[in-house]
A and B are shown apart, each in its own frame.
Chain A
């Protein structure tokens, strides 16, 4: 039996795929649990959130450019 410290992320599957792609560049995932859950290293959470935010921001379109 083992206990591993980490952070459980709950997300939709689209976000999970983005996270997995990010993971290839710079690994932080400890365990891929299922479609909606990942366990990652606790001290990486802030960085992951920030990078995910930037990634999602690329896909948004804003009216405010006029």
Chain B
């Protein structure tokens, strides 16, 4: 049995994969982005979303009054860093942060002045939100309550998704959330009136909360475009939230109509808290304030609080910090010990393990062929299972190298391969060509169209896709017709 001692051995490695929001921003027009960059909070947030090299370049250019010649900057770059530099530059020009010409490089002037303002302070744009004065009569929400609120909202959504396929009736999130889940393809109602989780929904459950949150917000942004909401308002409000202080109350007065409407949606997602729907003040939760940072968006993905009354027995030694790091122990015999009392985590695990025993703070299960095949059938991939187990591995597991037993990893992958022993493709088999020249001529044409799946010169036949058939047939007919 695993031991439960706790050590802060692991360091979260910052990820350098581009943030999911960046492609969306790049698809926006220059006018939209320039309007967005008028707000210092937005510039600061975009800056935080960028990779280290982009940030480095921006910092170098930020305080320069004139443009820098490209030749000068290229001198900073080592030959082996050229690719990284070029792609960083491409990201910056895509976002219209940098104006790139062949000879000069300079920051977008709007971006430059706003980011300067964000760093040095000053100005009265209120782009970082306007805090309200302390209300003497009522206590403002403390951080603990905000965390509990955010966690409860967020887990309601996830729990609703995970149990939709199992005929349970968990608490339903609001209509707005349901619509968003449906629009994003995470759930659908293909089988009757009730919403059912889709295979992308299953995959979604295994992502980190930060990714999940952005995934939904991106969908929200797409919807905002359709709902004729001003995208700049929507984006800048999200960015504003991400730069706010946790545990502080802000006034709704300076918000635009669009942003006031957003408050309602964001309340449903657990990003903001308001005492009453008509309240003139709101507090961002940790979900909102960590949107553009690398700190974890949820205080503890482990217990909704309250139920957790570990007293000196040592039975539950997990502090919230440890729960954040992981709770799963996987042994070489495929057994999984999950130190959790959270129904959501249990339900997610249940997607791919067979449950054996359940204790107040511990769930024991096993990875079996059946359980993994069920998950694969739901559209979850072997890599996703492995990465979920890796991210949520118990601190004790971190001593192992490799982290997860290789046998188990391999077996999960083998089970996946086993499902794909047969690949099929519909199309046409072309055979009985009159001459080798004939065969080669038609084959060359089909190859040009990139529709050949299989060929054999000896048998003088080849297999083409269904899509290519009309073209290939037309080609043969034209040819035989002309002879």
Contact = CB atoms under 8 A, between A and B. Distances in A.
Interface in B442-461: 442, 453-454, 456, 459, 461
Contacts of B469: 3
Interface of A: 1-12, 15, 30-31, 33-34, 37, 39, 42, 45, 49, 52, 56, 60, 62-64
Contacts of A56: 418, 421
A52 B370 CA distance: 17
A2 B456 contact: no
Contact of B421 (A5, A15, A33): A15
A33 B424 contact: no
A4 B422 contact: no
A7 B432 contact: no
A15 to B, nearest CB: 5
A35 to B, nearest CB: 12
A12 B421 contact: yes
Contact of B431 (A4, A12, A37, A42): A4
Contact of A62 (B370, B429, B453, B456): B370
A4 B368 contact: no
B113 to A, nearest CB: 59
25 contacts: A1-B433, A1-B476, A2-B430, A4-B431, A7-B425, A7-B426, A8-B429, A8-B454, A9-B424, A10-B423, A10-B424, A10-B454, A12-B421, A15-B422, A30-B429, A33-B459, A37-B463, A39-B429, A49-B422, A49-B424, A52-B422, A62-B368, A62-B369, A63-B369, A64-B370
A8 to B, nearest CB: 5
Contacts of A31: 429, 431, 461
B293 to A, nearest CB: 44
Contact of A64 (B354, B423, B480): B354
Contacts of A3: 428-430, 469, 472-473
Given A33-B456, A34-B456, A8 B432 contact: no
Contact of B428 (A6, A9, A11, A60): A6
B427 interface: yes
A33 B427 CA distance: 14
Contacts of A15: 421-422
Given A1-B433, A8-B453, A9-B423, 20 more contacts: A1-B432, A3-B469, A4-B429, A4-B431, A6-B429, A7-B427, A8-B425, A8-B463, A10-B422, A10-B425, A11-B423, A15-B422, A31-B461, A33-B454, A42-B426, A45-B424, A49-B422, A49-B424, A63-B366, A64-B366
A63 B372 CA distance: 13
Nearest to B466: A5
A32 B257 CA distance: 68
Given A8-B453, A8-B463, A60-B369, A1 B434 contact: yes
Contacts of A11: 421-423
Contacts of B427: 5-8
B438 interface: yes
A46 B309 CA distance: 54
Contacts of A30: 429
A56 B369 CA distance: 13
B372 to A, nearest CB: 12
Interface string B180-216: 0000000000000000000000000000000000000
A60 B84 CA distance: 48
Nearest to A1: B433
A47 B457 CA distance: 31
A53 to B, nearest CB: 9
Nearest to B458: A34
A28 B430 CA distance: 18
A4 B421 contact: no
A30 B463 CA distance: 13
Interface in B367-399: 368-370
Contacts of B472: 3
A60 B373 CA distance: 13
A5 to B, nearest CB: 6
A37 B476 CA distance: 25
A22 B177 CA distance: 50
Contacts of B432: 1-2
B356 to A, nearest CB: 10
A15 B422 CA distance: 8
Contacts of B456: 33-34
Residue among A1, A6, A31, A33 with the most chain B CB within 10 A? A1
Nearest to B418: A56
A7 B426 CA distance: 4
B428 A4 contact: yes
Nearest to A12: B421
Nearest to A39: B429
B320 to A, nearest CB: 35
Interface in B340-384: 354, 366, 368-370
A62 to B, nearest CB: 6
